[in-house]
Chain A
């Protein structure tokens, strides 16, 4: 065996992805701890601040992400069944739903910005400490989550081109599978963010 000869280990690659997902969950875990502490300390302020958020938008985004998780899973099955065209369509739908999520998020953030509510804004500082912390956490956590959506979209875009060029096939699909796993992780983080910010009021 020459040193340049590469070895392929799909199981290893998948273990690697799962380990990376652990680290991502712990990264968000740090913020969830902070959220828990400050919610416990400022229950009333968190209650009123949460009512300011647009619940309809939150529900819509949740639905978008749930569907996109389904479509990315289906695209993998399509690749495994050698149905390349179907897989391409499903990945594209996933990408589109992810972009729609970001658009909604942009509208939501922009709306808050328009009302003068953003980190360090004068209006926010006039409100109580609880509100400052709630919106601080809201922007930080949804912002970090949005960043992960962008990373997920990049991975899936690469997967899309690889499927198109026949580099991801029914016998070699670990990149798409890992991309899908990452996307599910992004999804499940949102599943926790959504009730914490929009539903518990």
Chain B
């Protein structure tokens, strides 16, 4: 494409549509603008959630009450959980990068239902506001933890209703986004893009979308039942009325376990996009990655019971759930081996996105392995509800989604904003964040094994030393995060203009100008090759 063609179409950032100014963003059905809307909303919530996490870590810097009371701490870990899970990691990558890059990656002008897409963002904001109103309206903030376990969730005098309803509303947003992506991938792939020529990020979004669609309604109805329980005393989960609280746990985890695959699959998709680009080598085992994506999505439905080994279930059920949990580790490991094999003998370019991707592999491995420790029946009983669990899911959820998100934003930032960031500061921020992350969460494995329970504002004196290290790690990590974010915000305004393809990557989004024009492609491309065919590059391209 010539640069003349570029200039005759305004890019999506400066395009003047029906509405001017901020309304042109809030009512835009352009998938790229909606992606940016999600990016800003999610980052704002993330900063708030991370700050809450820091406050909790400051409380734990010494035994006894240091900066808050027990009830405040309960409110903080609940809000931290609700924000991080429902507002950030579940919508996270699909809502931001999925919206922005799915159409670009498959050669489409937009998603299948652009107006529904905008509606999803509005529902997301509505759900977020309703959930957060629980902090300010009525009695004390919710204190159940993000899991809303029965019967406490309808017995506690705190302001549970808005939190539960907010999570319910957010579910709608998730379902509609998933639905939109499935139809988009089925109907709008560019001519010649067969299923097996589709890049891996869209594949992971496809797997994710099916989970969003088929698991989210279960939590929707479960949360509605909690609402009905609280307001109407129906008795679904209330033992005094004949209900069964363990049934709540089943229904909750039937969604919430697949939900961790909603979080991690798109993260894996980003890593699968990135590694070939920075190793300048075709992805190893494309089909194996596709199949393992779908297998993870499928097996992920049948492992929910491993959250409830100590809640009272039969030995047979425990054995089955434990076995299935080990089974789901196989496709995850297949991916890791494929990524490593992709790097093997590649021409690796160590740039900021690659640093995040490589550290993703590291923390994801630790997170995954510690998951098996929890999935094994014998060790689970010992480690259940300890700091070990907290360390595990922060390694896998924060380590997985967070690092992939950071890898994604540093990879696609030049395309999204048309500007480059300062890679020196970006790398410094990464280094501090990574060291802080390990210092923060690694001691919690040991603390958990020694028996420190989770969700307490206080602990025994013998846990003091490791808790101090962990709290210092939290500060270091947030310091690194601040550098990363400030660097990016600065670059979005004042960075040098980015070329169309700064990394020498081959997928379709790099064939359009940075930032992309409103209609994405002047002519819809026809696909004739595999997405990661780096063998066609000339030596001069490789040295770029």
Contact = CB atoms under 8 A, between A and B. Distances in A.
Instruction: Judge: A and B partners, yes or no.
Output: yes
Interface of A: 1-4, 7, 9, 11-13, 15-16, 19-20, 22-24, 26-31, 33-34, 37-38, 41-42, 119-120, 125, 128-130, 132-133, 136-137, 139-140, 144
A140 to B, nearest CB: 6
A2 B8 CA distance: 12
Given A12-B186, A15-B186, A139-B234, 13 more contacts: A1-B109, A3-B518, A7-B109, A16-B113, A22-B214, A26-B217, A28-B221, A30-B218, A34-B236, A37-B244, A119-B233, A132-B235, A133-B235
Interface in B202-242: 213-214, 216-218, 220-222, 224-225, 228, 232-236, 241-242
B183 interface: yes
Nearest to B220: A27
A11 B112 CA distance: 11
Interface of B: 15, 17, 30, 109, 112-113, 116, 175, 179-180, 182-183, 186-188, 213-214, 216-218, 220-222, 224-225, 228, 232-236, 241-244, 247, 251, 518-519
A30 B235 contact: no
Contact of B221 (A12, A16, A31, A120): A31
Contacts of A20: 175, 179
A132 B242 contact: yes
Q: Which secondary structure dominates where chain B touches chain A?
A: helix
Contacts of A125: 241
B183 A19 contact: yes
Contacts of A129: 235, 241-242
Contacts of A41: 242, 244
Q: Which of A19, A41, A128 has the most CB of B within 10 A?
A: A19
A120 B242 CA distance: 13
A130 B242 contact: yes
A24 B187 contact: no
A3 B233 contact: no
Contacts of B186: 12, 15
Given A3-B30, A29-B218, A22 B183 contact: no
Contacts of B17: 3-4
Contact of A26 (B188, B218, B247): B218
A23 B175 contact: yes
9 contacts: A3-B30, A4-B17, A7-B109, A16-B183, A22-B214, A23-B213, A38-B244, A133-B235, A133-B243
A132 to B, nearest CB: 5
B217 A119 contact: no
Contacts of B236: 34, 133, 136-137, 140
B241 A33 contact: no
A33 B251 contact: yes
Contacts of A31: 221, 225
A133 B225 contact: no
Contact of A15 (B30, B182, B234): B182
Contacts of A34: 225, 236, 247, 251
A30 B213 contact: no
